[in-house]
Amino acid sequence: MYRRILRDALLVTWLCLGPAHAGQLVNLSSRAVAYPDGDALFAGFTVSGNLPKKLLLRAAGPALGSFGVSGALAAVQLRLIRDGVLLAENSGWDAGGTDGSALAAAARAVGAFAFAPGSKDAALTVSLPPGGYTLVVSPAASAAPGVALVELYDLDPAAASRLTNLSTRAKVGTAGDILIAGFNVAGADGSWLLLRATGPALTAFGVNGVLQDPRLDLYQGGTVLATNDQWQAAATATLAASLGQEVGAFALAPGSPDAALVVEQASGGYTAQVRGADGGTGVALLEVYDAPAPVVTSFSAYNLTGFATAGAGTTGGGIIAETDPAYAKVTTPLELANALLAANKTAGAIRVIEIMNDLDLGSIEVGAAVRALPSTPFRAHQAPKLHPRLIVTGVSLIDITPRGGLTIFSANGAAIRHATFNIKGTSNVVIRNLKFDELWEWDEATKGDYDANDWDFIDLGNGGATSNVWIDHCTFTKTYDGIVDFKAGTRNVTLSWCRYVGDDGATNARSFVRQQMAALEANRAAYPFYNFLRTNGFSVEDIVTIHQGHDKTHLMGAGSLDPENATLTATFHHQWFTHCWDRCVPRLRAGNVHNFNLYIDDTGVLAARRLRDTRAAALSSALQNTLNNTYSFSPPINGSIATEGGSVLVERSVYLDCLWPLRNNQTDVSNPVYTGKIKAVDTVYQFRNANGTTTSVRGDSTDAGSPLGPFQAPVIPFSWNGFVTLPYVYVADDPTTLLARLQTGAGAGVVDWPKANWLKTTY
C-alpha cells in the first residue's frame, strides 16, 4: 500500500546540490486535485536570510499520465504571487518565449523527471529575495479539474539563504485524491520539523468547505514516523504549540480536531499525507516548518537523582554511538522482541533500544513471528473481556530482564500500546520518553473494583527482585490496574518528569473510553453493572466524564504485610497528575518513599465525583444502596498514602481539589499494624468546597489545623525506616512555579534536545 501511494504521489528522486546548510528544507512536491479559483492547489514557501534564493518551480499535469495517474489535469496554469501581486506565470513550460532548454537543464540538475516538448505542464526558474511566496496551480484554457503535482526545488542550497517553511492547501478527497506531499531535509542539526494539517482552523480565515477532521501521517524511508488527527492528543502537543509560536504560525484552538506533529530532523526525504480521519472531504492546509531547537544553557533539572542513584547507581546502557552493535533501532514488534532477546540473554549484547515509532504490541497483533521466537519475551497477558479494540489486538506481557545495563527510549515520544513492560529479576534499567496507552477496559467481572485483569503499564519485580530503575519523561494514559506497580523486593527506583493524563481523548469520539461505551451501549442488557447505571439516571456522557480519570496509579507492595516490602524504596519528583482517582504517588506498604515537586490536579475528578453524587441523590434508598455497596463507581480522590509502617515524605508539592491529600491507613484504622508514617513540608493545598468557598494553604502537614491530613488513624511521627537522612542530594522547585516547569518539561515528546541526551544521566 505504501509503495502504491509513493508511486501515485510521483515523488522525485531528491538530489542535494553541494554543501547545504545543516537542517535545511530544500524541496517540496505536493499532489492533489487542482480546481479553479478558490479550490486551486496552493503551495506556500518562505525564503529566509539576506540573499536571494534561486528556485525551480514546476506544476505537472499531462506529464503524470505516463506514470499511470488517472484523471490528470490536461492543461496547467502556474502562478507565483507575493502579497497579492502576480510576479510570474506560465502555462506550457516551453511555449510563449520561455527558455525551455534552461528549464530542462534545471530539472535534470535536481533529478526531476522531464516534461515532454510542447506539453501543457508548467515551469519557472526564479531568483527571489527573502519573504513569503505562494504558488497557485489551477486548470488552464478552460480545462476540467484534475490531479496535479506542484514542485519546488532549491537550485542553490549552499547559498546564504534558505527555505524555512513550506505549505500546501488543497481540496482533499478520498482514496487517490488525498493530499500527498514530499519534502527533503539536507543535513540535520538537532532542529525540529513541525507539521500541521488544519481544516477547522481555516474557517477563521474565511475558508469555506474545510476538511472537518484532518488526519496527518508522516513517513520516512517506508517507515511511519508519526500519526495524528487531534493535535492536543499527541504526546508532542505542548511542544507543537510552543514551536508554532516560535515560527509565527497561527494558533490552534484547544480541543480542535486539527492535526500537528513534531519530529526531530533527520536527513532525507519525507512524505506527509492528509486525509479525512472520518472519511470526509474538504479544504485542508498542510504546513512544514523548520523550527530551530531553542538554545538551552542547562538541563541540570533533568539529572538523575533520588533512590535510583543508590547502590551501584543507574546508568542504563550508557552513552554509546548509534553505529555501535549494542545500539538497536526498532520499528516493529519483531525488531523489539529480537533486541530484548539479545539484551536478556547476553551481557552487553544490546545496551540501548531506541523506539523509532509508535508500536502496537498486543499478543495477537504482534504476529506469529514474534510468538514463534525461541524464548520470546512476549507472553499473552490476561485476555481482554470487553474492550472491542483489545479483543482484536490482545494484550502482551513483555519480559525485560537484561543481563547488563539497558536503556529503552524514544527520541520523539513514541507510544507503546496494548502491553505491560515487565521488568523483573534485574537491575540498571532506564525507560525514557515513551507514551504508554490503550490498556483499559470496563470492569464487569469485579463490578468496578478492577481486580480481574492485572494490566499495569509497567511492573517492577514481578517474578524476581529488581533494583536501580529510572523511569523518566513518560506519559501515561488510563490502564485497567496500576500505572507502575512495585512488587516486594523492588528497591532504588526513581520516577521523574512524568505526566499522567487519564483518557487523553475523552473529548472526542475516538477516545478509548468512548469506544468501550459504544460497545456496551449496543447490548446493555448483557452487562449488569453498566445497565444499572444507564437505567438509573446516568447518561453515556456522564459515565464517560466520570471515567475519564485513571483509578489506581502506583502501588508499592503487592501483598499486604509481606516482610519483603520493607526494602521498597523510590523517589517520585516532578510528577504531573490530572484526573487521578487514587494512589497519586503512591500507596506504600512498608519501605520508604520520597516525593518532591508533585503537582496533583484533581479538579476534573472532583467535578466527576460531584456529578456522580448528584445522580445518586436522585435515586431511591434501595438503588443508592446497590450503587454504593454492590458497584464501585465513585472516585475516592486520594493523594499520597503510607500504610503498614511505610514512610512517605512529601516536599514542596501541590494538591488541587484532592479530598484526602495525605492518608496513613487504607485498610483498618483501628489496627496500627496498617498505619504508616507520612508528612508534607512546604506544600500547597487548595480545595473547592461544595458551598463555593475555597480552602487554600501553604505549609507543613504538622502545622496546627492543617487540612493536609492525615486524618484516618492516629498520626505516627515521621521517621525514615533504616536510615536517618536521605542518601542523595536533590533540588526542589518552589511549588508556586511548579506548573510552568511541568508544562514545558513533563511527559513524553516535550523536551527538545539532542537525541544523545536520552542516554545521559547528568547534564
Residue 351: active-site member: no
Distance CA 310, CA 571 (A): 11
C-alpha cell at 178: 488525498
Residue 722 burial by Cβ neighbours in a 10 Å radius (0-12, 13-18, 19+): exposed
Q: Where are the alpha helices (DSSP H) in 600-646?
A: 603-617, 621-629
Strand partners of residue 286: 168, 197
Distance CA 360, CA 439 (A): 11
Q: Of the candidates 159, 134, 113, 224, which has an alpha carbon nearest to the alpha carbon of residue 18?
A: 159
Catalytic residue among 275, 583, 609, 615: 583
Q: Of the candidates 762, 259, 166, which has an alpha carbon nearest to the alpha carbon of residue 510?
A: 259
Distance CA 415, CA 227 (A): 11
User: How far lies 685's CA from each of 146, 607, 735, in Å?
Assistant: 62, 17, 10
Residue whose cell numbers read 460531584: 610
Q: Are 538 and 520 in contact (CB under 8 A)?
A: no
- H or E segment at 457? none
Contacts of 16 (CB under 8 A, 6+ apart): 26, 157, 184, 186
**Number of helices followed by number of strands (H, E) in the chain:** 12, 45
Q: Over 727-761, what HEC string results? A: CCCCCCCCHHHHHHHHHHHCCCCCCCCCHHHHHCC
Q: Of the candidates 682, 667, 660, 663, which has an alpha carbon nearest to the alpha carbon of residue 609?
A: 660
* 3-class state of residue 107 by DSSP: helix
Residues forming the active site: 583
